[in-house]
Amino acid sequence: MDVKADKVLDCTGLLCPMPVVKTKKAMNDLEVGQVLEMIATDPGSIPDMEAWAKQTQHELLVAEELDGGKFRFLIRKTH
Protein backbone atom coordinates (compact mmCIF):
# COMPACT_ATOMS: atom_id res chain seq x y z
CA MET A 1 0.00 0.00 0.00
CA ASP A 2 1.35 3.37 -0.95
CA VAL A 3 0.53 5.73 1.87
CA LYS A 4 2.80 8.60 2.79
CA ALA A 5 3.84 8.64 6.43
CA ASP A 6 3.60 11.93 8.32
CA LYS A 7 6.05 10.77 10.97
CA VAL A 8 8.59 7.96 11.22
CA LEU A 9 9.41 6.16 14.46
CA ASP A 10 12.49 3.96 14.75
CA CYS A 11 12.06 1.15 17.29
CA THR A 12 14.85 -1.06 15.97
CA GLY A 13 16.80 -2.85 18.69
CA LEU A 14 13.98 -2.45 21.21
CA LEU A 15 12.14 -5.38 22.78
CA CYS A 16 8.66 -5.66 24.26
CA PRO A 17 6.97 -3.49 25.46
CA MET A 18 8.93 -0.51 24.14
CA PRO A 19 7.72 -0.52 20.49
CA VAL A 20 4.13 -0.33 21.74
CA VAL A 21 4.95 2.32 24.38
CA LYS A 22 6.84 4.49 21.89
CA THR A 23 4.13 4.08 19.25
CA LYS A 24 1.51 5.25 21.72
CA LYS A 25 3.59 8.33 22.56
CA ALA A 26 4.26 9.09 18.91
CA MET A 27 0.53 8.87 18.11
CA ASN A 28 -0.11 11.61 20.67
CA ASP A 29 1.87 14.01 18.48
CA LEU A 30 -0.16 13.26 15.33
CA GLU A 31 -3.39 14.82 14.11
CA VAL A 32 -6.40 12.63 13.37
CA GLY A 33 -6.03 11.15 9.88
CA GLN A 34 -2.24 11.35 9.86
CA VAL A 35 -0.10 8.24 9.42
CA LEU A 36 2.78 6.96 11.52
CA GLU A 37 5.45 4.65 10.09
CA MET A 38 7.10 2.47 12.71
CA ILE A 39 10.10 0.21 12.12
CA ALA A 40 10.90 -2.52 14.65
CA THR A 41 13.11 -5.58 15.01
CA ASP A 42 11.19 -7.17 17.90
CA PRO A 43 10.10 -10.56 16.49
CA GLY A 44 6.83 -10.26 18.45
CA SER A 45 5.95 -6.89 17.03
CA ILE A 46 3.46 -8.02 14.36
CA PRO A 47 1.02 -9.75 16.74
CA ASP A 48 1.65 -7.03 19.34
CA MET A 49 0.90 -4.20 16.95
CA GLU A 50 -2.22 -5.99 15.68
CA ALA A 51 -3.44 -6.32 19.27
CA TRP A 52 -2.48 -2.74 20.03
CA ALA A 53 -4.41 -1.42 17.03
CA LYS A 54 -7.45 -3.50 17.95
CA GLN A 55 -7.46 -2.11 21.48
CA THR A 56 -6.75 1.51 20.61
CA GLN A 57 -8.94 1.39 17.47
CA HIS A 58 -6.32 3.11 15.37
CA GLU A 59 -6.11 1.75 11.82
CA LEU A 60 -3.23 -0.61 11.11
CA LEU A 61 -2.73 -0.11 7.38
CA VAL A 62 0.42 -2.17 6.93
CA ALA A 63 2.17 -4.79 9.07
CA GLU A 64 4.93 -6.46 7.10
CA GLU A 65 8.26 -8.20 7.50
CA LEU A 66 11.15 -6.64 5.60
CA ASP A 67 14.55 -8.10 4.79
CA GLY A 68 17.12 -8.15 7.56
CA GLY A 69 14.76 -9.03 10.39
CA LYS A 70 12.93 -5.74 10.29
CA PHE A 71 9.22 -5.12 10.54
CA ARG A 72 7.36 -2.15 9.12
CA PHE A 73 4.04 -0.75 10.25
CA LEU A 74 1.80 2.02 8.98
CA ILE A 75 -0.83 3.26 11.40
CA ARG A 76 -3.49 5.88 10.76
CA LYS A 77 -4.66 7.89 13.75
CA THR A 78 -8.45 7.60 13.89
CA HIS A 79 -9.36 9.58 17.00
Partner 1 sequence: MAQENGKRRLAMIASKGTLDWAYPPFILGSAAASMDWEVAIFFTFYGLPLLKKKLDAAVSPVGNPAMPMKMPFGPKAFQKINWPIPNLLMANLPGFESVATSLMKQTFKNKGVPSIEQLREACVDLDVRMIGCQMTMDVFGFTKEEFIDECEIGGAATFLEYAADADVTLFI
**Which region among 2-10, 21-29, 31-39, 65-73 touches partner 1 (by CB under 8 A)?**
21-29
Give CA–CA dist 29/51, Å, rounded: 21
Catalytic residue among 3, 8, 15, 16: 16
Shortest Å distance, C-beta 79 to partner 1 = 10
User: Is 8 buried (19+), middle (13-18) or exposed (0-12) by CB count in 10 A?
Assistant: exposed
Of 34 and 41, CB closest to partner 1: 41
Per-residue binding string, partner 1, 34-73, x by CB under 8 A, is -------xx--------xx--xx-----------------
**3 by DSSP, 3-state: which?**
coil
Give CA–CA dist 35/43, Å, rounded: 23
Which residues are known catalytic residues? 16
